[in-house]
Chain A
Amino acid sequence: MTWLISHLPTLIVMAGVGQLLLIAASLAIPRVLGWKEETAKLRPLTRQVFWTYAIYIWCTNLSFGLVSLRPDWLLDRSPLAACVTGFIAAYWTGRVGIQFFYFDRSDAPQGRHVKLAEAVLVTLFVYLTIVYGLALLSNLGVFQA
């Protein structure tokens, strides 16, 4: 635990890099899951809303990645830093829960590569949850990073 706390700035930068890798990799998701073919069955508005949301989620993840490259901003113990790190922690905590308790994976593509990719993805989500959770605690003065 002490090691984690003392290396928190580095862990946040790694979280930022992880999120940038995630958005790069997520460009392949529409092709792998056949989103273009599936959304073609929808009415224009529903299809356009689907893609608009997807782009905005992608940009949100991009912004989290970029801001994490400045850990001094996220660990300055200001109320704003606490709010931002708490928000990002809640964002990724929710994502872990959705992966395990909400998404239907029965008709997801099968195979070792897919299983490996999912394992990497879930590990990243858990890592992000822990790192931003620690950053929140640091900003709240629970410990000194």
Chain B
Amino acid sequence: MSVPPVLIYVAGTLMLLVASANIFAFGKFRYREHLRQVPLVMRQVFLVQNAYIMFVQLGFALLCFCFTDEFTSGSPIGRGIAGYLAVFWGSRVVLQLFYYDRELRRQNRVFDVMFIVADGFLAIVFAAAAILGGGIAS
């Protein structure tokens, strides 16, 4: 048994959606307005971090679309990347549940649930790809 390639494609699509949500979040949560209270360099660090996170997520998505076989073939680098992605998205679920402000999550329950489900799905798919690799011979 190995991870079906279609799940890797779905994971890539989800990562594109999560990356694009960063742009949407800027307007919805009025980051720019709130960041006026800190020095310019802090604002710039925030924007650079945001851009880099989106760039990294875009890179992950492209890996899923262009190198689907690497995630399902059991190659060492494919399993290594899958393991990293499982930790990346698994920790994102933990942050969402235990770090982000509860009141704000309650006020935005639909987005909160969507993020938990999406991040949880990504963590499970990549954990399976890392553990199963090329599959178990039957």
The answer to whether A and B come from one shared complex is yes
Mark A residues whose CB is within 8 Å of B: 33, 35, 38-39, 41-46, 48-50, 52-54, 56-57, 59-60, 63, 67, 73, 79-81, 83-84, 87, 90-91, 94, 98, 102-105, 107-108
Distance between B65 CB and nearest chain A CB, rounded to angstroms? 11
Distance between A24 CB and nearest chain B CB, rounded to angstroms? 19
Q: Is the CB of A52 within 8 A of B95?
A: yes
Q: Count the B residues whose beta carbon is within 8 Å of the partner chain — how many?
A: 38
Q: Is the CB of A42 within 8 A of B38?
A: yes
- Residues A39 and B44 in contact in the complex (CB < 8 Å), given A50-B49, A80-B77: no
Interface flag for B31 (CB, 8 Å): yes
Complex: how many Å from CA A25 to CA B54? 24
Q: Which of B25, B38, B70, B76 contacts A41 (CB 8 A)?
A: B38
Among residues of A, the one whose C-beta sits closest to the C-beta of B104 is A45
Complex: how many Å from CA A84 to CA B80? 13
Q: Which of A43, A50, A81, A91 contacts B55 (CB 8 A)?
A: A91
Chain B residues 1 to 32 lying within 8 A of chain A, measured CB to CB, are 25, 29, 31
Distance between A93 CB and nearest chain B CB, rounded to angstroms? 12
- List 16 contacting pairs A-B, 8 Å CB cutoff, sorted by A: A38-B39, A42-B34, A42-B38, A43-B34, A44-B104, A53-B50, A67-B77, A73-B76, A73-B80, A83-B62, A83-B66, A91-B55, A94-B55, A102-B44, A103-B48, A107-B39
Secondary structure type dominating chain A contacts = helix
Complex: how many Å from CA A107 to CA B42? 11
Chain B residues within 8 Å of A38, by CB: 38-39, 42
Chain A residues within 8 Å of B67, by CB: 79-80, 83
Complex: how many Å from CA A102 to CA B56? 20
Q: Is the CB of A107 within 8 A of B40?
A: yes
Distance between B52 CB and nearest chain A CB, rounded to angstroms? 6
Chain B residues within 8 Å of A45, by CB: 29, 100-101, 104
Q: Is the CB of A35 within 8 A of B42?
A: yes
Chain B residues within 8 Å of A73, by CB: 76-77, 80
Distance between B95 CB and nearest chain A CB, rounded to angstroms? 6
Complex: how many Å from CA A135 to CA B74? 24
Among residues of A, the one whose C-beta sits closest to the C-beta of B46 is A50
Q: Is the CB of A48 within 8 A of B101?
A: yes
Q: In the A-B complex, list the 6 residue pairs whose CB atoms are closest, starting with the nearest.
A: A53-B49, A44-B101, A41-B37, A46-B34, A104-B40, A38-B38
Chain B residues within 8 Å of A67, by CB: 77, 80
Interface flag for B114 (CB, 8 Å): no
Chain A residues within 8 Å of B38, by CB: 38-39, 41-42
Q: Is the CB of B42 within 8 A of A87?
A: no
